[in-house]
Structure 1
Amino acid sequence: MRTDNTTQSASQTPADGVRLAAGDAELTVHPDNGCRIGSLRVGGTELLRQGAQYGCFPMVPWCGRIALGRFRNGGELHQMPVNAAPHAIHGTGRDLRWRTARSSATAAAFTYDLADPAAPWPYPGMVTQLVELAEDGRSLTLTMGVEAAQDSFPAQAGWHPWFVRHLDAAEDGDDSGAQVRLDFAAEWQEERGEDHLPTGRRIPTRPGPWDDCFGMPQGVDVTVTWPGRLELKVTSRAEWVVIYDEQEAAVCVEPQSGPPNGLNTLPRLVTPIDPLEISTTWSWRTLT
């Protein structure tokens, strides 16, 4: 992945995160906290739920749940830490300290070593995340790459943003602000079993609330609208998205490279000559 379009050295990274700004948009990335975007403000209004476990974090080297925390690679069976009993969830990248490789006023690149002792992943390699704010401050592009250093392995990558349900709630806790609306057209919904994993059956899209995976073979395209205030589109060439709106405080639109439990059901092998790469773009416009 390219990381040569930025200029600031890692030693200049502020202790409270890496801040990017353009137009009336500004965001802060926290490499020490799983390389999550801790804040995204447009016109001074916060769009992401605040808190150390929220914002928008990368899901890597898998997305969603792995059944019982176990996956196979050929004849090898691997056990990941069970952090959403009885399953493992959302990868290890969100729990690690990433390295700031480069940053400028509008873009930054971050990496972490898959062999990091704090990450119980059995294969060496590198993960890179690029965060790029458009010069006009009207869109944000996130790109993630997973590279294998030696042996091939199955992997996934994606993002888990927590968009506030009520605009302005992040600032004052008032739920009277514009309440979010989600609009999307999926070709199918993955049927969810009692164990919270896809059963393998594809069904027509059902009404929410959701904690479900949807298939979009033409690419992810979801519109997040706060009526009368702001419209934000989440797009990606990826074909899978998880929608989660079972909490009062926030909704999640999660583009990812495969479905939950995909390391077992739809493995995508990363090899030394074939890395995994995924991008998503958020673009927004005001409605006032």
Structure 2
Amino acid sequence: MSTDNTTQSAAPMRADGVRLAAGDAEVTVRPDLGCRLSSLRVGGLELLRQGDAYGSFPMVPWCGRIDHGRFRNGGALHQMPVNAAPHAIHGTGRDLRWRTARAGAREAVFTYRLTDPAAPWPYPGTVTQQVELAEDGGSLTLTLGVETIGDSFPAQVGWHPWFRRNLGDGGADVTVDFAAEWQEERGADHLPTGRRIPPKPGPWDDCFGMPQGVHVTLTWPGRLQLTVSSRAEWVVVYDEQAEAVCVEPQSGPPNGLNTLPHLVTPIDPLEVSTTWSWRTLS
């Protein structure tokens, strides 16, 4: 994934973010708001819940909750800020202003340094997010990469999209369809217990294992169908909110820095992609 400093003039650089467009799809990225997608419009329909806390944000350098905000790397114990007491949640990247490294008409690249003083991480490194619309406007691919510029460290990446439950104009609510191999049993503290159980019916705020890759379909009857896919093997589905549902592909389960760490080394960065593809039903 390139992180060069060139900026192509084709992408509108507006006060409210970087706008990408292809076919009948438009995406707005807010590097100043944690590099979240603040808008995804397809055929004039807004698919993401609006608001500075919503849209779709990258989860990096960890996903979901860390047990009491603490994780180990070898013999070192690190404490992350507790922002969902008693745990730390969703990484630090969503709280930072990212730098626009490159922007074109339908593709842009954004970066930040892990040791940014606004939300520090104990190890130096670089995070990159690439946002790319397909040429025909029929899909969107997001790619996150984490590289170290020093010691090795555990990390996770993922995305937390807030899809609108209802697209308005009297349409029906979205349905969510997927076939997971297992569900991570969730304890009273909202962390996985370590047991894998058969998937249960919703409502969910749960992590599921999909070892062949994430594949989840959201259908707004008569309006639009969207598929979230990724080579990542875990997905969190959250549908307990009236306004939105979340389908979150990620490289490991919640608390994974402690239970299933992926080590980022100087010769082995962490890179994961997700593709959202859609088709209209009307």
How do 1:23-42 residues align onto structure 2 when only pairs under 5 Å count? 23-42=23-42
Retained in 1: the 8 A contact 2:11–2:105?
no
1:190-246 per-position Cα deviation (integer Å, ceiling 9, x unaligned): 000000000000000001000000000000000000011100000000000000000
Give 1:275's aligned residue.
269
Select the residue among 187, 196, 202 that pairs with 1:193: 187
Offset of 1:85 from its aligned partner?
Answer: 0.4
Q: What's the TM-score once normalised by structure 1's chain length?
A: 0.95
User: Matches of 2:91 and 2:262 in 1, distance apart?
Assistant: 15
Structure 1 equivalent of residue 228 of structure 2: 234
Q: Is the 8 A contact 2:12 2:18 kept in 1?
A: no
Identity %: 81
**Aligned residue number for residue 246 of structure 1:** 240
- Contact in 1 for aligned 2:59/2:93 (Cα 8 Å): yes
Q: Tell me if the contact between 1:132 and 1:140 (Cα under 8 Å) persists in the aligned partners.
A: yes
C-alpha distance after superposition, 1:164-202 (max 9, x if no partner): 00013xxxxx7x422100000000000000000000000
* 2:256 aligned residue: 262
What per-residue deviation string (whole Å, max 9, x for no partner) do you get for residues 65-120 of structure 1?
00000000001000000000000000000000000000011000000000111112
Q: Which residue does the alignment assign to 2:163?
A: 163
Q: Which residue of 2 aligns with 1:15?
A: 15
- Separation (CA, whole Å) in 1 of partners of 2:172 and 2:40: 17
Quick check: 1:116 aligned with 2:116?
Answer: yes
Work out the CA distance in 2 between the residues paired with 1:91 and 1:209.
Answer: 25
Aligned to 2:215: 221
Count of residue pairs the alignment pairs up: 282
Distance change >3 Å, CA 136–CA 12, structure 1 → 2: closer
Q: CA deviation at 1:272?
A: 1.0
User: What is the identity, as a one-letter code, of the residue corresponding to 1:113?
Assistant: R
| Matches of 2:10 and 2:113, distance apart in 1 | 16
Judge which range, 202-211 or 13-22, deviates more: 13-22
Cα distance in 2, alignment partners of residues 9 and 228 from structure 1 = 38
Q: Distance in 2 between matches of 1:106 and 1:178?
A: 31
Q: Secondary structure at the match of 1:264?
A: helix
Change beyond 3 A, Cα 1:11–1:55: closer
- CA 1:162–1:12 in 2, change beyond 3 Å: closer, same or farther? closer
Match of 1:53 in 2: 53
Q: Are 1:104 and 2:104 counterparts?
A: yes
CA contact (8 A) 1:61 1:92 kept: yes
Match in the other structure for 1:171:
none
SS of residue paired to 1:122:
coil
Q: Distance in 2 between matches of 1:39 and 1:208?
A: 27
Match of 2:63 in 1: 63
1:36 and 1:58 in contact (8 A); partners too: yes
Give the 3 Å change call, closer, same or farther, for CA 223–263 of structure 1 in structure 2: same
Distance change (3 Å), C-alpha of 1:250 and 1:11: closer
Residues 236-278 of structure 1 deviation map (CA, whole Å, 9 limit, x = unaligned): 0000000000000000000000000000000110011110000
The one-letter amino acid of 2:173's match is Q
Cα distance, 1:2 vs. partner? Answer: 2.7
Write out the 4+ residue segments of structure 1 that deviate beyond 2 Å after TM superposition.
9-15
Kindly state the Cα deviation for residue 7 of structure 1 after the two structures are TM-superposed.
Answer: 5.1
Query: CA contact under 8 A between 2:10 and 2:105: conserved in structure 1?
Result: no
Match of 2:78 in 1: 78
Structure 1 residue 180 and structure 2 residue 179: aligned? Answer: no
| Structure 1: gaps (5+ residues) | 169-173
- Distance in 2, matches of 1:81 and 1:154, equals 17
Q: Which amino acid aligns with 1:115?
A: T
Whichever residue aligns with residue 266 of structure 2, its letter is P
Q: 1: distance between equivalents of 2:138 and 2:77? A: 45
Give TM-score scaled by structure 2 length. 0.97
